[in-house]
A and B are shown apart, each in its own frame.
Chain A
Amino acid sequence: MPAINRRSFLGAAGVTVALPMLESVSSASPEIAPNELTANIADAPAKRLVCVGSNLGFYRKAFYPEQTGKDYVTPELLTHVDQHRSDYTVFSGLDHRAGNGHGNWDNFLCGPKIKSISLDQIVAEQVGHLTRIPSMQLCAGGIPNQQKVSYTRRGVPLPMTQRPSVVYKKMFSSKENRARTDYLLRSGQSSLDTVLEEAKSLQKTVSAADRKKLGEYFSSVREVEKRMTRQLAHLADDVPEIEYQLPQYDPIAPTLMIEAQEIMYDLLAIALQTDSTRVATMFLAGLGQVFTLDGVTLRAGYHALSHHGGDAEMIRDLVKVESEHLKCLNQFLTQLKTKTDADGQPLLDSTIVLFGTGMGDSSVHSNADTPTLVAGGGFDHGKHIATDRKAKDAHLLGDLYITLLNQLGIEADSFANANRKMDI
């Protein structure tokens, strides 16, 4: 595709980031060699990043306070997290200047160019190697075909897990599973020994160009060997003993979305506490389901409510549904406040929770002015920071992402179309 590359090359020439263009793919391992790790993790105030995005967004008038600064009157949706008021900041008027429609939802963590590396994966590249699971991609509710949250540097969307039982297995595999993983890893090591020997024997018969290729092969095998050794070590020592009871069924039915969300947050909190991972995303995949809240079955599906067209009754029910998301978030923040890290400090103090959406107003499919909330991570919280989108020097959502990256010890001057760090 030479013709097209040429133009995009010209366009991107000014903003090249000094990161390798290697293939990066699986949720298993972001592609970055240890000598390219530029983050100063040890001294960073924040150590972990959780990004939660809601498919249908939030009703802005119930999400945004009318006043800015610290003394705002709590808007309806935020009453559910008000107990953590001093631990979060709410942002209005931010977005990526991306296109509109459901298809452009993916700009949430990518910026206006979908398939650009997402915020979480930038972080995973830097800290993923430190934990058993480099990063996790979760989903509550069914997965609509189009939307994706995380993209690798190569533009590969990472698959999301919607079954809590699968997440659970990955985090705390059963004895039988562990035995099999152990077997696969150990026998896998003799696999690698065998192919390494073979590759070594080839070295005599190759050309100079081949030798470079074999070099790639050797370093890949050795890196995978290291990862296997690390996994084996984790298998032996680190599998946390936890008492958490999953339901007998996987809540993948769309009407069980809230239940799924609660469980996923629980698992996430445990994953962070046990340092099984430091980077996670969760997609709140609501669409057509009709919820039963406090014993009352609503009289329209979530999607229908989101197309409220300004109707007061529809908005009332929509806010009821959205309140459930905030209640779940509240429980999650409470857990992060209660659980402590290795130093005995609340997890929340060193965990950034980004709560937002790629959709600004789903009633008209607008992706502008997306409701955003940032909790934890050692910031001076408790405020409403409003941005006037029409102002010439208006901050972009990417400016906030730069701030988050810096807080995690990652040097970044720009994120997508943004290049001005934003003060919190």
Chain B
Amino acid sequence: MNTRLYLKVVAVALFSCAITTGAEKVPGPQYQFVQTYCTDCHDADTNEGELNLDHGQFDWNSGKTLKHWEDVYTMVSRGMMPPEDSDQPTAAERAILLSWLDQQLFKHNHIGGTPMRRLNKREYLNTVRTLFGMSNFELPGSFPQDTESHGFDTMGEALVISPSHFEAYAETATNIADYILPPAQAEQKPKSWTVTPQDMAISYSSAYIIDGAMRLASGGATATRNASWPTKFEAPASGTYKITLTLSTKNPPEDELPQFALAAQASERNGKERLLKKFDVQSGNAQTFEIEADLFQGENLLFRYPNAPLDYEQASYKDFLIKELTKNPKIAAAWKKVGDVPRGGNGWARVKKQMENPDLDISEFTPGSEQIKKVAASIFKDKVKSGETIVYKYFEEGPNIGIHQVKIDGPFQLIEDQNSVRQKHTSKKFLGKVVSEPSDQSLEEFLTRYLTSAFRRPASKPEVAIYTALVNQQLASGYRLEDGLHLAIRTSLLSPSFLYRERGRGELDQYELAARLSYFLTSNAPDAQLLAHAASGDLSDKDILRTEVLRILKNSAIKKQFASDFTSQWLDTNLLDNLMPDPALFKKFSDKHRATMKAEVESTFQEILEKNLPVTDFIDPDFIYTDKIIGKEIYELAIAAKTKSSKFQRYDIPRGTKNGGVLSMAAVMMATANGVDTQPVLRGVWVMENILGTPPPAPPKAVPALPPEVDGSAGPRERLAAHTTDASCARCHREIDPLGFVLENYDAIGRWRTNYASKGKKKGPAVDAAGTLPGGTKLEDVTDLKKWLVEHPEYFTNCIANKLLTYATGRPLNFRERKVIEAIAAKNIQQGNHFQDLLLDLIDSEIFKAK
């Protein structure tokens, strides 16, 4: 309690200090600097960059003043101002201005400043899932996306609420309330459907009607290519149905009876198939089969012939073709004659016509002949196209199964499907006694308990009274208790106490601290133990806070989620989902490859965190996570190529190489390119922002992009030369571009290259990856950059610390806060630069704990 009191006093002191400081004069020497070097452009008339420094005094309470002077500090300290073609101040002159600014900016910035923050989309979803125990709950498709700012989706300023948000919240709240307290359903009476072949679906070449029956002739797995289903039926309610099928078979194979498979599937055809029953179909007259089966609401039937000899989706299709062509060489001769056989029945008719041609020469197509094999291979080449054609032979001649009629009656007895069982369980668990044993007391208990978890802090008596009144008002108007609770739930989910966290200024209170910690690490509301600490008031205690962080991160699912949520935004790897690399770079790039690349980033983060490794292991670790394909194809790792297992795993690697660390990861290299070629400027900016922690100033408005390379003759350096000839571009680009060039050895998917690709067979021009650091240090290639960063750990340690706290606090950190972080980072480096220690120190900092 003592510490809390003390901090409150400090906060008050800071606050009053902010009030008393008003307009202040710029002291003589600094004013002279400004007059000499700045006001030529930055005065009221020219107002270059909308910055006027031509005042004798400034109001430090104004946010605008702080921003302007901070810009001055950045530009002057990094040598970007005054412009190259103007008079340059001496180092001593610069120091006079900068040390004064340093003091002023520290003094006039205050720790804190996160505005009331609404839950973002991820947090909102996790929160309602936990609150109501609905682990499968999904948001409606129209739920608004969040706006990012400063690279993260947790920033208070950008998390606006618009009417669309509010409508989406209201819609979601009604969906949730409907789930917990479902509205009454109308009763379902049994009905009868008679499905004739005309009312069965044909998709691609999945089936065809011949002689009054829908014929199935292929056994492939894809339903849309091999199955048929009723077009005008879907189960109106979950229940038991009687299904009567009339089936026959034509020319069944001698060795095996055709099997008819009856399955059920959601009628939108987006869920899994559920096998209901298989029937052996005898040759001869059509047979009638009758079964009773349970169908769930919205399901339809599905008809298949799984053991059909033809399955054009499998490799065995080729042997099947050789057998069939050997048996009937006319097919081979005719197919060859037609040439490009069109898809479907039209194509088969074309082949058949040729087969009837008396001049057709089949002499070459003897059993076992090369000719048979050749035609079979050419038919096999485009399996789906030829399969969609040749299947018509079997529709016509068999082997096939004919479906003459299907009758469906029901539902005779309603059943509970999995969903309704789960729903009832969730609802019961959530509501407790409030509906089963209604009383004033149970209602109050329920609302107190529910509102406390919804608001992430104890619900006050007046709040509970307001919600009780809301329920009672419904009862008084003749509605049921369930309707009243429905309204209470809907209302609570629109309440600012649910939608927002953190309010006011100063230090976070205990419950707000619990929420900040929990949303930072889990993107979810605080759990019972965090809330218990908040209740006893000891959560901000250094030891307890640390113990709690480690307890939360012990849960491997949470750790993984934290790694993913944070790194994908910090390193921009969430962009991977929208990128499709050029097939010339990587043939058949799939979601699996994408997942491996992302998993590498996350696993690396997790390992460094869990083992408390040095922060510099993000830059140059002695391990790498990948799988055989990416390890071999992109990283050219001999050790991965030798592995038998295709599983994602950890490999030991030497330090100081082109592999390992965030500057060498495929996910990062892909995210900072466009899928086709690399753009050194993007990567340069990325390194400055996310690795060095010295983002370049915002680009000037209305600058056109450099023209794209058209003929491929100019290398990136030549194309970007314009950046260094124009003084206003050069100011920043002489820092940005050389850092981008250093990564040029990585192509658009992160594979190492020494030459650019060219269109012909000849090698493209050689990659020149030499560059410089902003301070002028020369770099040969990326390994030099990594080495320098490890030797100067303060840059990256500062950078990642800033990113973590920005993500956690939801505000861009100000000058003073960055100075505090510098001190934390310096201490961390002194004590071994361990990452977990750094994270704990950041969480224990006044920055993390301030609103």
Q: Is A418 an interface residue (CB 8 A)?
A: no
Which among B166, B345, B683 is the interface contact of A223 at CB below 8 angstroms? B166
- B495 close to A224 (CB less than 8 A): no
A308 to B385, CA, bound (A): 12
Most buried by B among A2, A23, A209, A292: A2
| Chain A CB within 8 A of B751 CB | no
- Measured CB to CB, the closest approach of chain A to B238, in angstroms, equals 18
Asked whether A13 and B160 contact (CB < 8 A) given A23-B147, A190-B487, the answer is no
Interface size on A, residues (CB 8 A): 86
Of A85-93, A199-207, A348-356, which stretch is located at the interface? A199-207
Q: Is A159 an interface residue (CB 8 A)?
A: yes
Q: Which of the candidate stretches B89-97, B367-375, B496-504, B755-763 sits at the interface with the other chain?
A: B496-504
The answer for the CA separation of A22 and B202 in the assembled complex, in Å, is 45
Alpha-carbon distance A311/B389, docked complex (angstroms): 15
Please name all residues of chain B whose beta carbon is closer than 8 Å to the beta carbon of A247 when the two chains form the complex.
232
CB–CB A299/B685 < 8 A = no
Are A252 and B267 in contact (CB-based, < 8 A)?
yes
Q: Is the CB of A255 within 8 A of B201?
A: yes
CB-nearest residue of chain B to A221? B166
Within 8 A of B (CB), among A150-179: 154-156, 158-159, 176
CA distance A31 to B490 in the complex (A): 23
Q: Kindly report which residue of chain B lies nearest to residue A192, judged by CB atoms.
A: B494
Q: Name the residue of chain A whose CB is nearest to the CB of B160.
A: A216
Kindly state whether residue A14 has any CB partner on chain B within 8 Å.
yes
Residues of chain B contacted by A155 (CB below 8 angstroms):
145
Q: Does A27 contact B (CB under 8 A)?
A: yes
Q: Any chain B CB within 8 A of the CB of A187?
A: yes
Give chain A nearest CB distance to B785 CB in angstroms: 17
A308 to B474, CA, bound (A): 64
Q: Give the residues in chain B near A250, CB-CB below 8 Å.
A: 234
| Bitwise interface map of A from 204 to 233 toward B, beta carbon under 8 Å scored 1, else 0 | 011101101110110111011001000000
Nearest chain B residue, comparing its CB with the CB of A13: B702
Residues A300 and B164 in contact, CB atoms below 8 Å apart: no
Of the candidates A26, A248, A292, A299, the one whose C-beta lies within 8 Å of that of B198 is A292
Q: Whole-angstrom distance from the CB of B601 to the nearest CB of chain A?
A: 15
The answer to whether B495 and A198 touch across the interface, beta carbons within 8 angstroms, is: yes
Residue among B116, B350, B504, B704 facing the most chain A CB atoms (10 A cut-off): B116
On whether the beta carbons of A300 and B388 are closer than 8 Å, the reply is: yes
Whether A301 lies near B205 (C-beta < 8 A) is: yes
Contact B491 A195 (CB under 8 A): yes
Q: Does B442 contact A (CB under 8 A)?
A: no
Interface size class of B (residues with CB under 8 A): 35 or more
- Which residues of A have CB within 8 Å of B156? 209, 213
A192 to B166, CA, bound (A): 11
Please, which residues of chain A bring their CB within 8 A of the CB of B473?
Answer: 190
By the criterion CB–CB under 8 Å, are A290 and B202 in contact? yes
Q: For residue B98, which residues in chain A have a CB less than 8 angstroms away from its CB? A: none
Task: Spot the interface stretch: A3-11, A49-57, A61-69, A235-243.
Answer: A3-11
Using A29-B167, A194-B470, A210-B503 as known contacts, say yes or no to A303 and B204 having CB atoms under 8 A apart: yes
Query: CB distance A10 to B344 under 8 Å?
Result: no
CB 8 Å contact bits of B168-192 with A (1 = contact, 0 = none)? 1011001000000001001000000
- CB of B574 within 8 A of CB of A299, answer no
Is B581 located at the chain interface by the 8 A CB criterion? no
The answer to whether A70 has its CB under 8 Å from any CB of chain B is no
Cα–Cα, bound, A187→B504 (Å): 31
Is B703 interfacial (CB-CB < 8 Å)?
yes
- In B96-152, the 8 Å CB interface with A consists of 113-118, 140-145, 147-148, 150-151
- Please pick, from B229, B504, B705, the residue contacting A7 in the complex, using a CB distance under 8 A: B705
Which of A3, A190, A199 is the one whose CB lies under 8 Å from B572?
Answer: A3
| Contact present for A1 and B148 (CB under 8 Å) | yes
Q: Which of B150, B225, B705 has its CB near the most chain A CB atoms (within 10 A)?
A: B705
Question: A210 vs B186: C-alpha distance in the bound complex, in angstroms?
Answer: 47
A217 touches B347 (CB 8 A): no
Q: Does B505 contact A (CB under 8 A)?
A: yes
The CA of A191 and the CA of B156, in the complex, are separated in Å by: 25
**Interface: B575 (CB within 8 A):** yes
Q: Is A249 an interface residue (CB 8 A)?
A: yes
CA distance A305 to B689 in the complex (A): 52
A190-B473, A210-B116 given; A205·B344 CB < 8 A: no
Does B795 reach chain A (CB closer than 8 Å)? no
Task: Give B contacts to A, CB under 8 Å.
Answer: 113-118, 140-145, 147-148, 150-151, 156, 160-168, 170-171, 174, 183, 186, 198, 201-205, 208-209, 224-225, 229-234, 267-269, 340, 342-350, 388, 392, 463, 466-467, 470, 473-474, 483, 487, 490-491, 494-497, 499-500, 503-505, 569, 572, 574-575, 672, 679, 681-683, 685-686, 689, 695, 699, 701-705, 851
Task: Offer 13 A-B interface pairs, CB within 8 angstroms, sorted by A.
Answer: A3-B689, A4-B682, A25-B145, A25-B168, A26-B168, A188-B170, A190-B491, A191-B470, A191-B490, A194-B495, A219-B163, A288-B203, A290-B203
Given pairs A206-B503, A288-B225, 17 additional interface contacts (CB within 8 A): A13-B703, A26-B164, A156-B142, A187-B483, A197-B466, A205-B504, A207-B505, A207-B851, A217-B161, A253-B201, A253-B229, A254-B203, A288-B224, A289-B201, A297-B209, A299-B346, A300-B388
Identify the A interface with B (CB < 8 A).
Answer: 1-4, 6-7, 9-11, 13-14, 22-29, 31, 142, 154-156, 158-159, 176, 180, 183-184, 187-188, 190-192, 194-195, 197-199, 202, 205-207, 209-210, 212-214, 216-217, 219-221, 223-224, 227, 247-256, 288-290, 292, 297-301, 303-305, 307-309, 311, 313-314, 317
